[in-house]
Amino acid sequence: MHDLGQYLHHESALHRSDPRVKLIAVLALSPVILHIEVPGLIMVGALILGAALMGKIGPFELFRTTRPVWPFFMMLFLVYILFTPGTPLAPLASYSIKISYEGLHLGASQLFRFVLLILAASLLTMTTSLTEITMGLEHLLRPLRIVRISSHNIALMVSMALRFIPLLQHELQQIQTASAARGADFRCGSPLDKIRLTVYLATPLTLNIIRRSDELAEAMEARGYRPGPRTYLCELAFSRSDYYALGFIAVIIMFLWYLG
């Protein structure tokens, strides 16, 4: 099973394409997905599916990445179908719970939208390494230097945050194990107990994060870090196919937007 953000290395045109193109595609597609209606959404779905196949990623493999968010989606769907006024569904018309056609349509289309957003983001992270994403972000944010915001610093912060996620997960597990060894087992007890025990986790975890960031800052300084531009291992450069891809994305997005 693949979690959100897990990069899968394959030799494909999608993997080889410039990370900026993929970032722009996802960023531009997101408002379009929220704006358009079902026919457009079906087209976006087909587009994502096509891109996934181009990246040698199976449709089921891609779809599995949405699994962690399904409980949230289900709750959202329930809220839409239960609380949207409109014509009640005929078979349920005599019951106290009213489900309307409009609610069902709105819930399904919103669910479709969110699934597409997650799939687009997953496809980006499955075909682009974190290093490439960070570098792409750094290049895309370079115009911010006009307002004296350093894209290098933002990229470094992002890469550092991403690097520390597995470390913090490991640390959290260690604290949980240590707490369990002293009788505070997080697997048992009522939800209220679990909330109370979370407070005991939060304190050592926060302190460890502060200590780690302090040591990391010192290690970075010791390695000659100073804010501002630095040399990267490889510099990004648009190829001809990247320009074609950008053009194609622009046309598709304009078409979808006007299709509505």
Partner 1 sequence: MIRIENLSYTYKPETAPSLHNINLCIGEGEHIALIGPNGCGKTTLIRHLNALLLPTGGEVSIDGLKSHEQRNHSEIRRKVGMVFQNPDNQIVGMSVEEDVAFGPGNLRLPAAEVRLKVSKALEMVGLSGFEKRAPVTLSGGEKQLLALAGLLAMDPGYIVLDEATSSLDANSKEKVLAILKKLQNQNITVIQVTHNMEEALRADRVMLMAGGQIVADGPAFQVLAERERLKSMGLAPPVIVELMASLEAYGHTPGKPVITVDDAAGEINSWLTHEAAVDEDYAPRRTGGYA
- The residues binding partner 1 (CB under 8 A) are 129-131, 134, 159-160, 162-163, 166-167, 212, 215-216, 218-226, 229-235
201 vs 209 by CB, closer to partner 1:
209
Residue 133 and residue 106 in contact, taking contact as beta carbons nearer than 8 Å: no
119 vs 155 by CB, closer to partner 1:
155
93 vs 167 by CB, closer to partner 1:
167
Provide CB contacts within 8 A for 168, sequence distance 6+. 205, 209
Burial class (CB in 10 A: 0-12, 13-18, 19+), 36: buried
Provide CB contacts within 8 A for 229, sequence distance 6+. 152
CA 165 to chain CA centroid, nearest Å: 14
CB 203 → partner 1: shortest distance, Å? 20
CB 232 → partner 1: shortest distance, Å? 6
CB 219 → partner 1: shortest distance, Å? 4
CB 135 → partner 1: shortest distance, Å? 10
CB 120 → partner 1: shortest distance, Å? 22
Residue 19 and residue 133 in contact, taking contact as beta carbons nearer than 8 Å: yes
203 vs 213 by CB, closer to partner 1:
213
35 vs 163 by CB, closer to partner 1:
163
CB 97 → partner 1: shortest distance, Å? 48
Amino acid code (one letter) for 245: A
Residues 186, 179: Cα–Cα separation, whole Å: 8
β-strand partners of 88: 100
CB 5 → partner 1: shortest distance, Å? 12
Per 3-state DSSP, the chain is made up of helix, strand and coil in percentages (nearest 5) of 75, 0, 25
44-80 CB burial, b ≥16 within 10 A, e <16: bbebbbebbeebbbeeeebeebbeeeeeebeeebeeb
202 vs 219 by CB, closer to partner 1:
219
105 vs 152 by CB, closer to partner 1:
152
